[in-house]
Amino acid sequence: MNSIKEIYKIGRGPSSSHTMGPERACLYMLEKYRAANCFEVTLYGSLAKTGYGHRTDYAITQTFGELPCRITRDSVTRDIAHPNTMDISAIRDGVLLGRERIYSVGGGDIRVEGEKERQGEREIYPHSHFTDIADYCSENGLSLAQYVYRFEGEEIKKHLADVWTQMKLTVRAGLAAEGVLPGGLNVKRRAKQLAKAGQRERNLVKKENFYICAYAYAACEENANGERMVTAPTCGASGVLPAVLYYEKQQFGVEKKEIIDALAVAGLFGQVIKTNASVSGAEAGCQAEVGSACSMAAAALSALHGLTVSQTECAAEVAMEHFLGLTCDPVGGLVQIPCIERNAVAALRAYNAASLSEVVYDNRKVSFDLVIDTMYATGRDLSACYRETADGGLAKLYVKNFD
Ligand code: SF4
């Protein structure tokens, strides 16, 4: 299994598979075909369907800079190996230098057809299923955070510290901002208002909910505005983990070291999901994005609250289990409706899962590995219209109702 760095990438929103992935693909082409003075890009599948709303074109043209680039959308071809597929041709003075088929596989990662491994991708963990990780921890007397440090090395802590710094900056910027998000849906920013509701509220449960939601909204609204943020594990699901960590920091003053350990544990669960299933909404629906983020957040909370490996596994499993079947149906192809609200609800659910697991973990019947296999199988059964194409569900009915 690869490094958890793949799960946490710092970059610009609003979509890891539609902006960060294409950006990396263009950088790959620029590096491989240095003599090229023109590029042609054809987008297929979800990139063709929702690329405009997700600002794929902007990411591509920005990356190629002054070099001319023609972008074509092909939403008719279905014979593609991955729903986020692009062909990029490198041209010099009208002569084709080379063409690559590149898949944006989620979380900002790419895979080039014919290439076995992308640079930077290397297996550093000897295990990829949670059962094996738990057994190893038990045999060696390790916590899950210690397991991560044993295989990643101490330097991963520096990366996680940078991740935490950016998460805090993103949440704070979102809490301070007002106005309407770009894209034409007239979605107003609500983070500041939710935080104010939290300040006023006297009912402690409601107060807690307002704050957690405010932090999730803040991160997601920054993402939707194309600002700097951290994938966790994707841009669309980037509000869940920061929301719970920021709340724990604000409410209980948890130390940076504890947050870094929690990020390590959350990243481990995210990477198990990515390795054995998917974190891409275009591949397996929103269960793969927000469901995975909820699992990661529940695992992070378990680490912060001192739960055992078994309790932590249970929390991550419960968090995912109740997102099974969740479709990806972003209205207008934008990462706003239902995405932002969905992150807030998932952050609350992460608390539910972590609390529940503390008691019920010893009699559970479903393992984390099983729920992940189930999520992936369910995702593959989902009709394409529910996998980030904006052709079905809320995206379709919203258009019908309001056009
Ligand atoms: S509905 Fe979920 S998977 Fe789809 S774009 Fe929004 S957050 Fe991502």
CATH of the domain at 96: 3.30.1330.90
Domain annotation covers residue 365: yes
Domain annotation covers residue 119: no
Residue nearest to atom 8 of ligand 1 (CA): 236
Backbone φ and ψ for 88, nearest 5 degrees, come out as -125, 125
Q: What pLDDT is stored for residue 49 in this prediction?
A: 87
Total domain count, the chain? 2
Q: Which distant-in-sequence residues (6+ apart) come within 8 Å of 370 by Cβ? A: 317
Residue nearest to atom 1 of ligand 1 (CA): 328
- Pairing mode, strands 69-74 and 38-44: parallel
Q: Which atom belonging to ligand 1 lies closest to the Cα atom of 327?
A: 1
Examine the domain organization and report whether 238 and 134 are in the same domain: yes
How far away, in angstroms, is 333 Cα from ligand 1 center? 9
Residue range of the domain that includes 151: 130-402
Distance of alpha carbon 398 from alpha carbon 237, whole angstroms: 21
How far away, in angstroms, is 344 Cα from ligand 1 center? 13
Residues paired with 296 in a beta bridge: none
In order of 64, 130, 219, 307, 352, the CA distances from 310 in angstroms are 48, 10, 30, 8, 17
Q: What pLDDT is stored for residue 54 in this prediction?
A: 82
| Cα within 13 Å of Cα(220), Cβ side | 33
Of 53, 80, 112, which one is at a domain's C-terminal end? 112
Examine the domain organization and report whether 82 and 144 are in the same domain: no
Q: What pLDDT is stored for residue 216 in this prediction?
A: 98
Examine the domain organization and report whether 385 and 302 are in the same domain: yes
Domain annotation covers residue 336: yes
Examine the domain organization and report whether 226 and 276 are in the same domain: yes
Domain annotation covers residue 123: no
Examine the domain organization and report whether 143 and 97 are in the same domain: no
Pocket of ligand 1 (CB under 6 A): 236-237, 281, 286, 289-290, 328, 330, 335, 338-339, 342, 388
Domain annotation covers residue 121: no
Of 58, 83, 112, which one is at a domain's C-terminal end? 112
Examine the domain organization and report whether 30 and 140 are in the same domain: no
Examine the domain organization and report whether 83 and 151 are in the same domain: no
Low-confidence ranges of the chain (pLDDT < 50): 119-120, 403
Of 81, 112, 143, which one is at a domain's C-terminal end? 112
The preferred substitution site among 221, 273, 335, 342 for testing ligand 1, maximizing ligand atoms within 8 Å of CB, is 335
- Residue 217 structure tokens: 């909204």
Domain annotation covers residue 173: yes
Residue nearest to atom 4 of ligand 1 (CA): 328
How far away, in angstroms, is 182 Cα from ligand 1 center? 17
Domain annotation covers residue 6: no
The preferred substitution site among 328, 336, 378, 387 for testing ligand 1, maximizing ligand atoms within 8 Å of CB, is 328
Q: In one letter, which amino acid is 190?
A: R
Q: What pLDDT is stored for residue 107 in this prediction?
A: 80
Q: Which atom belonging to ligand 1 lies closest to the Cα atom of 281?
A: 3
- First vs last Cα of the chain: how many Å apart? 47
Examine the domain organization and report whether 291 and 219 are in the same domain: yes
Examine the domain organization and report whether 134 and 106 are in the same domain: no
Examine the domain organization and report whether 41 and 79 are in the same domain: yes
Domain annotation covers residue 120: no
Examine the domain organization and report whether 98 and 146 are in the same domain: no
Examine the domain organization and report whether 137 and 51 are in the same domain: no
